[in-house]
Structure 1
Amino acid sequence: MTLPELLIRSLTATDAPVYFAFRLAGLAESPLAFGRSAEEYRHEPLETVAAGLAEHLGERVTLGAFLSGELVGAMTAVRELTLKRRHKGNIYAVYVSPAARGQRVGETLLSALLAWAGAVPGLEQLHLAVSVTQEPARRLYLRHGFQVYGLEPKALRVNGRDIDDELMVRFLDG
């Protein structure tokens, strides 16, 4: 059996309806993985979603992974805005749909995101927080050179359950 080709591309404002549905499904399917709830996101105006996907060269990107034309994975990087912090960026909103897991979608997305970050002048490091409940994501980040530098206890509270976040960084100079 041949797997369909995986296409990775930057999402744009025109992808907002598809991305909105994808993100909402991810928030509902994996509530322990995200700092935002499906209940909150459900009310996000489509214009706000589109504005977040609008192209900002070297400042922000949301990469989408498509299998047979269907969005099955996404990952966002945002560069810090202030002069003293512009050497840093943050990774957010990482999700791969359950049907696409085990097909190297996360690996391919993260490699593409690291390539994007490496091409941004002056961007030297990427940060992220990963819920300790998300062991496959944690392993993915470690394989790609991220290092744990801290733990945020009780970073999330989901249905009365406290969830810690591991804080990770990857330096882009090596």
Structure 2
Amino acid sequence: MNTTNQLPALDIRPLNAEDAERYFLLRLSGLEESPLAFGHGADEYRRESLEAVAAGLNEVAGERVTLGAFLKGELVGAMTLTRDPALKQRHKASIYAVYVAPAARGQRVGERLLTTLMDWARAVPGLLQVQLSVSVTQTAARRLYAAQGFTVYGLERRALHVNGRDIDEEHMVCFLDGG
């Protein structure tokens, strides 16, 4: 079994406005390559301005972060966590926009990103659970989330409708306090 010492050096850090163009291209690539995995389509995303993308990347302490994974200086993966703003729901946060470029797969980039993101979440006072939705077609992602302590709490039938095909999504949660 691989250990972290045998894996290529990976730099994981919060993205910011200066990363907007690289992030835009990575996300667009993901939307094109894996249309069954995302709620937004590539054509929709192409209409986003770089200014809007940049504004959404800046970390807000305890509220929002998009982590990027860099191999040899190239952005190869990203995932975002956003805390719920509603007073009665501030104990929850959601993960979305998760993608690892095909060339970086098999190097535990997703696992290393998720571990770092969950460490960030555990450091947020009052944050008790992290939720996500994952397309049932995304077997590797579902395995990753389960291995990191996420459990399924619901199935949304026909959550996505892509090119005439209905895609179900599992809703998963990880309780940071043991739940």
TM range (shorter): over 0.9
| Counterpart residue number, 1:134 | 138
Aligned alpha-carbon RMSD (Å)? 0.9
Q: Between Structure 1 and Structure 2, how many residues are aligned?
A: 173
Report the 3-state secondary structure (helix = DSSP H, G, I; strand = E; otherwise coil) of the residue aligned with 1:145: coil
Report the 3-state secondary structure (helix = DSSP H, G, I; strand = E; otherwise coil) of the residue aligned with 2:68: strand
Give the alignment of 1:20-169 within 5 angstroms: 20-169=24-173
- Aligned equivalents of 2:77 and 2:42: distance in 1? 17
Report the 3-state secondary structure (helix = DSSP H, G, I; strand = E; otherwise coil) of the residue aligned with 1:111: helix
- Aligned equivalents of 2:173 and 2:18: distance in 1? 31
Amino acid corresponding to residue 15 of structure 1 in structure 2: D
Give the alignment of 1:5-16 within 5 angstroms: 5-16=9-20
Amino acid corresponding to residue 137 of structure 2 in structure 1: T
Report the 3-state secondary structure (helix = DSSP H, G, I; strand = E; otherwise coil) of the residue aligned with 1:91: strand
1:4 positional shift:
3.5
Asked if the contact 2:32/2:42 (under 8 Å) is kept, the reply is: yes
- Aligned equivalents of 2:78 and 2:114: distance in 1? 9
Report the 3-state secondary structure (helix = DSSP H, G, I; strand = E; otherwise coil) of the residue aligned with 1:139: helix
- Aligned equivalents of 2:7 and 2:127: distance in 1? 35
- Aligned equivalents of 1:170 and 1:151: distance in 2? 16
1:3 positional shift:
5.4
Identity %: 69
- Aligned equivalents of 1:81 and 1:67: distance in 2? 33
Amino acid corresponding to residue 123 of structure 1 in structure 2: L
